[in-house]
Amino acid sequence: MTGSIEQAIEAFRERQGQDPTRLEVDGGPRPKALVEAERLASWVRRLAPQASVALQIAPYCQHLERWTVPRSEFPEGRKGYIAWRTSLAKSHAEKAGAILQRLGFTPEVIEAVQRINLKKGLGHASDAQVMEDALCLCFLEFDLVQFAAKHPREKLIDIIRKTWRKMSEAGRQQALGLALPAELSELVQAALAEG
């Protein structure tokens, strides 16, 4: 491997920093994709302190330039949503692979990053499962509040159950320790109790 982890992360941070959508974080607007990549990387570090090279890089390209492919380009409904997500995952993996190849990473590292991007190997102790746990934890910690404001209780409970099923036991333990607002904490408890 001639490419360095730092070079790869910086290359992906630069790309994610071009997201025109901004989030208000730490008192100022920042590119949404970059903030989300940093949050994802933070969860990966907590879940896997001894992460492989691929797993250290993957959070920064998991949703690489996602804003360039709007959801509106795909049909409405669940089938359209799944088609959009599948198309995005392939695009993220291809773009990440091209950048890593340019930086001199070995085919093995590139393939490992792409496997994580494509979520291959879920359901057992794998880098892909760590990433899935990190994605679920980011959703619960940062996105559930906004999601709850837009959806009825029944739908929220269903989504929380589906999120829970995607996670490993280690991820679930982390989720139970999240400092959620009281109404969301109650919702999570209700989803788990009713599930």
Write out residues in the chain with pLDDT < 70, as ranges.
1-2, 194-195
CA distance 76 to 23: 26
Residues 6+ apart with CB under 8 A from 135: 40, 62
- Do 81 and 135 fall within a single domain? no
Q: 6 and 55 share a domain?
A: yes
146 with 81, same domain: the answer is no
102 and 7 within one domain: yes
Whether residue 136 is found in the same domain as residue 162: yes
Q: How far is CA 89 from CA 96, 177, 193, in A?
A: 10, 29, 33
Q: Which of 51, 83, 118 is the last residue of a domain?
A: 118
Please say which residue of 77, 93, 118 terminates a domain: 118
Q: Quick: pLDDT tens for 137-185.
A: 999 999 999 888 999 999 999 999 999 999 999 999 999 999 999 989 9
Whole-structure pTM value: 0.92
Residues 84 and 168 in one domain: no
58 and 101 fall within a common domain: yes
Instruction: Specify whether 69 is located in the same domain as 21.
Output: yes
Domain, as residue range, for 2 = 1-118
Final residue before a domain boundary, out of 66, 95, 118: 118
Domain total in the chain: 2
